[in-house]
Structure 1
Amino acid sequence: MVKIIYIEHGGKRHELDVAAGQSVMEGARDNGVEGIVAECGGCCSCSTCHVYVAGNWFERLPPIEAMEEDMLDFAPGMEPGRSRLSCQLTVTEELDGLTVEVPAEQA
């Protein structure tokens, strides 16, 4: 299991063990993290799993593909260099300790 840290907009912190191979969104959805709605179920066809990637983690993630980039254009509060769709982030051992924050617009 890989430790992923989710911080809700109000500051509530969730340190969750997420299985490698799941998405960061699935870890949030399956554990009741507020603000990660995931309306499309992880198909990259909405932006309701938008998160801010904390610290220097952004540079350590796989690059944003075109479809995710298009969906991020619809994410309220999108911040270049910080915003990602959590459904597009596959959990791997290298992501142990990844911290993501839920934007205020999704609270």
Structure 2
Amino acid sequence: MAKITYIEHNGTEHVVEVANGMTVMEGARDNNIPGIDADCGGACACSTCHVYVHPDWVAKLPERDDMEEDMLDFAYEPDPERSRLTCQLKVSDELDGLIVQMPEMQI
């Protein structure tokens, strides 16, 4: 289980525990966190679960694969270093303390 902090664009923080094996997107969805739409349900077929990963966490996460890179091209104001799709981040004990911030909007 990992404690993950989701920060809305307006600065509102939501700290929730997410079970190992779920994705960061599923953790947001299951805890009614606003700002992650997840329109495709986690199939990496859209960019509506886009977040900016806190700078301290960028190097700790697995690298983006080609499919995630392609979908991030459609995200709202992607950041080349910090943008990730939460459907592609699998929760494990190593993600305990992860901090992600939602963009102003999802497209």
TM-score range, shorter chain: over 0.9
Give yes or no for the alignment of 1:16 onto 2:16: yes
Give the share of equivalent positions with the same residue, in percent.
60
Consecutive unaligned residues of structure 1, counting only runs of 5 or more, are: none
Deviations 1:19-48 (A, max 9, x none): 000000000011111110000000000000
Q: For this pair of structures, how many residues does the alignment match?
A: 106
Instruction: State the secondary structure of the residue aligned to 1:100.
Output: strand
Give yes or no for the alignment of 1:88 onto 2:85: no
Deviating above 6 A after TM superposition, structure 1's stretches of 4 or more consecutive aligned residues are none
Amino acid at match of 2:44: C
2:67 is matched with which residue? 67
1:55 Cα deviation after fit: 2.2
1:56 Cα deviation after fit: 1.6
**Which whole-Å CA distance do the structure 2 matches of 1:51 and 1:86 have between them?**
7
Deviations 1:60-98 (A, max 9, x none): 000100000000000011000000000000001001000
Instruction: State the secondary structure of the residue aligned to 1:59.
Output: helix
Normalised to the residue count of structure 2, the TM-score between the two structures is 0.96
RMSD (CA atoms):
0.7
Instruction: State the secondary structure of the residue aligned to 1:104.
Output: coil
Amino acid at match of 1:42: G
